[in-house]
Amino acid sequence: MPVETTVDIGLEGEEYAVAYLRKSGFRIRCRNYRYRRAEIDIIAVEGSTLVVIEVKTRTGAFYEALSDSISRAKIRRLTRAADHYVRSIGSDLEVRFDVIQIVRHNGRYRLTHLRDAFYFFP
């Protein structure tokens, strides 16, 4: 049986997150949007809000609090990439940053969705 890599685990988590978001009424606009050194996992629309979503997938053997999972540098990169995306599509939607954490343990998933995970003021 092949060894599962962190990339495999991350992709699996993103698929699970997308299914959850669609079921929750979000419209997925873009996945894995790249700008410079940043990558936004999911960009979606909920109502009149553009939602930038960072997905963190962990196995049961590794767990960290959501508040510790994204560094200040990562937040800066995400906000720059989000700004670039918004400007490139000419959107005037309000932007929100969410984090979805998925923990997989013994073949079961636990999903935590943190809305307004952080704010960024340039």
Per-residue pLDDT tens digits for 69-103: 678 888 899 999 999 999 999 888 899 999 999 98
Return d(Cα 98, Cα 8) in angstroms, integer. Answer: 22
**13, 25, 29, 67, 105 from 9: Cα distances, Å:** 6, 25, 22, 21, 12
Per-residue pLDDT tens digits of the chain, which is 122 residues long: 566 777 777 778 899 999 999 999 999 999 999 999 899 999 999 999 999 999 988 876 555 565 566 788 888 999 999 999 999 998 888 999 999 999 887 878 889 999 998 876 55
Distance separating alpha carbons of residues 4 and 105, to the nearest angstrom: 14
Q: Specify the pLDDT at position 66.
A: 56
Structure tokens at 77: 């990169």
C-alpha 38/C-alpha 46 separation (Å) is: 23
pTM of the model: 0.86
Domains and CATH numbers, the chain: 6-114 (3.40.1350.10)
